[in-house]
Every structure is written in C-alpha cells, then in structure tokens.
Chain A
Amino acid sequence: MLGWEFPPIINGGLGVACLGLCKALSQHVELSMIIPKSDPNYMVNNVELIGLNNVEVENLKKIRTSKYYKEFAHVTTVEANIFPYETAESDFDIIRGKSIDFKLDTNVNIFKVGDLYGDDVINKVIEYAKFCARLAMTKDFDIIHCHDWMTFLAGIEIKALSGKPLVLHVHSLDYDRGGPDSRGWVYDIERWGMHYADAIIPVSRYTGSIAKNHYDVDERKIYPVHNGADPVHVFHDTKDFPEKLVLFLGRVTGQKGPEYFLDIASKVIEHAPNSRFVMAGTGDKLRGLIESGAYRQIGNKFHFTGFLNKEKVHKLLSIADVYVMPSVSEPFGLSALEAAQFGIPCVISKQSGVSEVLYGALKADFWDVDKMAGHIISLLQNDSLRESVVKDAFRDLENLTWDKAADKVADVYKRVL
C-alpha cells in the first residue's frame, strides 16, 4: 500500500482515513504501507510501516526503472507552491517557469526535511515514485493499493515493473479541489492513473461518478467504498451564551462552500435571531468572507475562529446545535460523521459522499441557500425533528465502520487477482 499523509506526521482527513483502513484491512491481508515520512516510534499492529525518511537508499538494489513518468517530468513548471489541503491563507507570487531537474538517481533526502507539499511537490511525487519502485522490487506482494494522486505515479511505475494489479483509492480528485475546469499536471496524473489501474475505489458513489464523467473512467472498474467512522470521545458542554449554535468546520476554500454558509447564515439570522454561527477553519476565502459578513452586518452573530486544533474542534462539537456542510464537491466528509457522533443534527449538501450514508441528515443542493436555511431553522425550532434526525444518524453510524469498509476492499482485491 502506498500512502502520503499518515498520522502522526499529518493528521488531515486523508491520513486518518488511511490509518483507519490499514488497521481494519490488516485483519484480512499482510500489509506493507510505504509513506514519504514516518515517525520510527509509531507502530500499527500487523502493518509494516515504511517511511522513506528512515530508509537508506544504498541498501536497495538498483533496478531499471521504466520512464513512463518522464513525460510528466518534462513539463515546464511554475513554482506553484501547491498545498492542496492548505489550511492557511496564502499569497501567490508569480515566478518564471523552470523545468524540473529530472534525474534517474533517487534522492531520498527530499523526505527528510520540510513539508510533504510545498513548491517542489512535483519533484517529491517523482522521487517518491522512483524510490517506491526500487523498494517494491525487493518485496514479495500481490496487490498495489495507492491513496490519491501523490502516490499514483508510484503505483503506475510498480505495475509497469511487476505486472501486479493496481488499485487506486480515491479520497479526493482535482475536480473537487479546483472545480470542473480543473486541468493540469495533477489532473493528468489522476486521469492516466485511473485509466491504467485495474480497480478504482472512490470513497463514495458521488466521487465514482466524477471519475466516470470528468475523467472518462470505465465505470465497470469503479467500486465505491465508504469510509468508516473512528470512535471518538463524545462529551457535551454548556454554552456561555443563550443562542443556538450552528457550525461549519473545514478549510475556507471554494470547495467547501463557505460563501454559501454565509448566505445561509444571513437568512437564518433574519428568521431566527436567537442563533449564532461559527466558521472554524482558514483558507484563501477567509478575508473576503470576513468583510462580507461585516457588510451584511452579521459579524456579531457570525464568528470566525481561524484554524483550530483537535481539542478546540471537539469543544465546538460539544456545544453545537446544528452542523452544516455546504460543500460544493465533497468526496466524503468525515467531519459530518464526527458531528453526528456528537449527536449534532447535520445539514449537508447533496454533492457529498457522506449524504449517501447519513440517510437521516437533512440535505439540499449546495447552491440552494433557501432550502439549507429552511432545514436549519426547522432543526433549531422543532425539537422532535431534531431528535429524529439525531436518532437516524446514530443508526446510520452503526453501519459505518472501518471493518465493513475493509471487507469491501478485500472483495475488490479478490476481483482483480
């Protein structure tokens, strides 16, 4: 298995999902997980965890790597400073393009310092691919299983060398992050990878449909598997103010629909003044939204917290009355599951994977601000509706375990072997 983000180095949604799946899947198969960076003191039962930052390159025998990825390396790039899961507001400097320094030698030191993303993420992806290929050739394995585009190139390379079946797990696509017009290096890798793979495992039917419709992937090899929910320590706290609290959690970027949340909030505050809204997270849309909230004169009811650590996020979940996820394109949406675990009724966009599994949650198209606002007002004012939504979600959660997800993944393995 090839991964990029993995706890405890990065605790983003992708890493959490990979870990959850790894643990459950290790009951079914022998698993080696190769990631760019690992903490040598961090172990997962029954899983061989290999961080490239801890491997000596000299110990690997030289192999003839194919040069499939070379055509990807021969692009002229701009230092785009790509942080695809950026949590901070960032400024972009336009720099003159330069071509990638492409060598056949592996340079593993690239993973010993710095971030997993950043301005040389393309180099890192290529180095990761070369290195994984050499490492894989020293091992006996039956299936190659990759998580998201950063590892797709490596998967392609290993399949080309070994002829073993390639399974691509899709947690999110460039389409989600960049919108329907998204094209470029990342899109090309995703497209090429998915066409070359033997099976695609999107985290939802919704994401599967994007693979089919926007990447032209053969739907017969798409097998959606929904994520599981890790158990969380649930607690409830009391608010220090009398208003009901409506919560948005996530990166403040176009994909997550923060502008819609502000629109929705204005509507709700108008009809239910006894409400407060919190937007927790940061991103490129933050400043504009702060000004926009002030312009609408709802700043005293609509609060921005910036980026929050896990503890603060749980504090918010312990006092929230409604959770809203108005994402424009959300492959899954683990945070909605977490909110449901805290017993918070969820209002989620239909353009999300989690809407396929939270049957009880109230749903609307992300752009349907009136309907979203209506759902929230109903939940704030109607206690019996609220109770039934929460109850339904608890029932839905029972089915959402990593063990069930691992069963389905194991079925996919059987199909491709």
Chain B
Amino acid sequence: MPAVCFYFQVHQPYRLKQYSFFNIGNDHNYSDERLNKEILNKVADKCYLPANKLMLELIKKFNKQFRISYSISGIALEQFEKYRPDVLESFIDLARTGCVEFLGETYHHSLSYLYSKDEFVRQIELHEKKIKHYFNQEPVVFRNTELIYNNDLADFIQKMGYKAILCEGVDSLLQGRTPNQIYTAPNNKKIKCLLKNFRLSDDIAFRFSNRDWPEYPLTAQKFASWLHNAHSADTINLFMDYETFGEHQWKETGIFEFMEHLPGEILKNKDFSFKTVGEVADDYQIKDVYDAHATTSWADSERDLSAWLSNSMQSESLSKLYAMEEDVKNSGDKDLIERWARLQSSDLFYYMCTKYWSDGVVHKYFSPYNSPYDSYIYFINALADLEVEVNKHSLATARVF
C-alpha cells in the first residue's frame, strides 16, 4: 500500500547588506533589513499565503486524508514573526488540523554539522524549542540543511533521539535500487532513512513549466498516473522547496491548479494514501542499507557540497567563521553569538559559488548580489567586524582576570 509523502522546505535567510570595508568597526548590523523584508513580503504574497490556503482547503476537502510535512528554518520563523505574522498564523492553522508534521533542522539553516557538532546540537535544540512554541510539536524526523547527509550524520541524529532522517536518493549510491522504500545506515540500523525521489520531485519543482520538456504540460492526472505505476512502492517521497508554489513556478504556470487537483487524482487509486514523514517511518519497515560514505546533498547536478564549498572564497569564509566559535561563545554576549550564528546560513556561501555552468543560472537566480565575488566581500568584511568585536570582548575579559 504505497504512500505519497510530501515534504516542503520553508526558508528565508538573513541576506547581508553590501557591507564594505568602511562599515568595519562601526556597523554591527550585517543584515539588509529592507531587502529581507521586501523579499519576505513578496514570497509571502506569491507563495506562502496562497499555498497555505490551498493546503488547508485540501486537508478539509479530503477529510484529513491529505497529509503533508514542513521544515521551517528558525530564521524564517523569526522573519515571519517580525514582518508577516499572518504567514505564521496560517502555518499554525495548518498545524491545528493534525495532518501536518514539522521536521527538525538547524535553526539558522547552517552547515554547522560539517564544522562543529556543538554548534549543530545547539541549533537543533533552538529549533526544537521554536517548533514546540508555535506548533506544539516535538520533531521526530530530521532534515539537515539542503539534505546534506552521510552515514555519520545518520548515526549522530539517531543518537539525538530522532527516528528518521531525510536524504537525497542519489543514483550512484542507490545503484539501481528504488528510492521508494525505507533504508537504514550501515553504521546504525535503528535510523530510518527517507530518500527523496528526485525524478518525480524535480518534475514538479524544476520541470513543471519547462516548455522544452517532452512531458510539458504536466497535468495532475498525468503525474498521478506515474505515481500509480509505482504500485510496489512503500513510499514515494516528494521533497521540494515550498517556494516552488508561486515563486519558482509562478502562479501563471498553473502550479496551484496542478496541486489543487493532484490529491484527488492520486486518491482515485484506493491503494494510495498520503502520509507525513513520521507516519512513513512508523508504518514501513527498513528494506535495505543506504551507504553514504561521502557527503551528499540535494543541490546542483553534483548532489554534493560543491554549491557551498568548491572555491577558496567559500572555504575561507566557512573555516574563518567556525574558527571563531570558541571566542564568540566565551564572550557570553548573546547578541554577538546571534550575529555569528546568522552568518552561518548556507545561503551566504551559496551566493559565493563560481560554478558557472548549468547550475550557475540557478545560483544567480537565488543570489541578491551582482557576483559571487561581491557576496564574498560583503561576508568577509562583516566577519572582520565581528572579529574586531570579539577581540574587544576577549581583551576586556583578559583585563578583569
């Protein structure tokens, strides 16, 4: 009895202002508040509000048979709180239906897992608190930033008490096996791994409005028939950015109408049902081992870390940032720690990417800056300011003792 498992990622970073050398030492607010507010307002009106309204209607219409999962970063929730409480309300309404599950992730949508386990745990716990606060749920399924994943992470997360983790179903690791079943890690057989079916997910997220795609136009009926073909599946995991609805795929493409009709089409086959990520983990058994020695992700055609960590600007920024952890935390200054944590958003390193082939277009689409070089300069200048501040702190502390 196959389940269709939708998970939507909701995230908005704190984009940095055009922070120049002349700001260092006198401007300690690195975020471009106007830009962040403007983007949040735009995405709220084009995506979050209409999509949430649609999801709520679908849940009601199918009498709770339509069930979905969200992961919302802590800093996205913060920005909703600050700029668009109406969006936050609409998510809370969804949570109240009992058909919506919220996942755990790092509060700042960070790459901390790769650099500091302490910071990783700190951010997960911060995020858990936030989810509990707004949605009265305790996350039991984890998704790491951009589905960054490896065996070690699976083990780490299981030991933190999570029962399942999401990852990309990378072809080279599946080696011809289906992503539509539950896997586990070779080093920890308790964790359940939910693999993204990237073909079907990307049909919606990336190809939906592509007129050069032979399957264009994609109708709910056609897509449902593809799912129905996978009748031996346990779970078909459709993981994507929530901004797919109305933002990456504009309203004019018909993406909302597609989604409106999809549940009905899928449920025409009585064998099929919708489940949230936690329900999938509870209802199906582990079938096989998914062995990810090297770190994978859901980004770019490489499905590796190269979107955030493939040039010297990115590696310097990240290593310098995490090298400051001890000094920042020792300062005990909450504001300083928060400014440091905000610089951890993976997006800031994504903007610095210089891979200029097919994915370069995607990177450019998401970046608010003119070039990866500008993105790096703003970041590293802001980091220099933070360093100056932290040094002041250490100096002051040293004087006390």
Contacts and interface: CB of A to CB of B under 8 A. Distances in A.
Interface of A: 239-242, 276, 278, 286-287, 290-292, 294-295, 297, 299-301, 303-305, 312, 315
Taking residues whose C-beta sits less than 8 angstroms from the other chain, chain B's interface range is 20 to 34
Contacts of A276: 384
A290 B376 contact: yes
Nearest to A304: B377
Contact of B317 (A287, A299, A312): A299
Interface in B344-401: 373, 376-377, 380-381, 383-384, 387-388, 391
A290 B25 contact: no
A241 B24 contact: yes
Contacts of A286: 373
A303 B319 contact: no
Interface stretch (B137-145, B169-177, B308-316): B308-316
Given A291-B312, A295-B316, 14 more contacts: A240-B388, A241-B384, A242-B391, A290-B377, A291-B311, A299-B317, A299-B376, A300-B383, A300-B387, A303-B24, A303-B377, A303-B381, A304-B377, A305-B22
Contacts of A290: 313, 373, 376-377
Nearest to B389: A241
B26 interface: yes
B367 to A, nearest CB: 16
Interface string B197-241: 000000000000000000000000000000000000000000000
Nearest to A312: B22
A294 B376 contact: yes
B383 to A, nearest CB: 6
Nearest to A286: B373
Nearest to A302: B380
Contact of A241 (B312, B377, B388): B388
Given A300-B380, A315-B22, A294 B387 contact: no
A297 B383 CA distance: 13
B19 to A, nearest CB: 11
A239 B384 CA distance: 14
Given A290-B313, A290-B376, A299 B320 contact: yes
Contacts of B391: 242
A299 B380 contact: yes
Contacts of A294: 311-313, 315-317, 376, 380
A308 to B, nearest CB: 9
28 contacts: A240-B24, A240-B388, A241-B25, A241-B384, A241-B388, A276-B384, A286-B373, A290-B376, A291-B311, A291-B313, A291-B373, A294-B317, A295-B312, A295-B316, A297-B316, A297-B319, A299-B313, A299-B316, A299-B380, A300-B320, A300-B383, A300-B384, A301-B384, A303-B21, A303-B384, A305-B20, A305-B22, A315-B22
Majority secondary structure, B binding face: helix
B314 to A, nearest CB: 8
Interface of B: 20-22, 24-26, 311-313, 315-317, 319-320, 373, 376-377, 380-381, 383-384, 387-388, 391
Contacts of A315: 22
A231 B373 CA distance: 36
A278 B312 CA distance: 19
A290 B391 CA distance: 25
Nearest to A287: B373
Q: Which of A239, A290, A291, A294 has the largest count of B CB atoms less than 10 A from its CB?
A: A294
A397 to B, nearest CB: 27
A12 to B, nearest CB: 23
Contact of B388 (A242, A287, A292, A299): A242
Contacts of B380: 294, 299-300, 303
Contacts of A301: 384
Contact of A305 (B21, B383, B388): B21
A63 B315 CA distance: 66
A42 to B, nearest CB: 31
Given A290-B377, A300-B380, A305-B20, A239 B25 contact: yes
A381 B384 CA distance: 22
Q: Which 10 A-B pairs have the closest CB atoms?
A: A240-B25, A295-B312, A294-B312, A241-B25, A294-B316, A303-B21, A299-B380, A294-B313, A240-B26, A300-B384
Contacts of B312: 291-292, 294-295
A304 B380 CA distance: 10
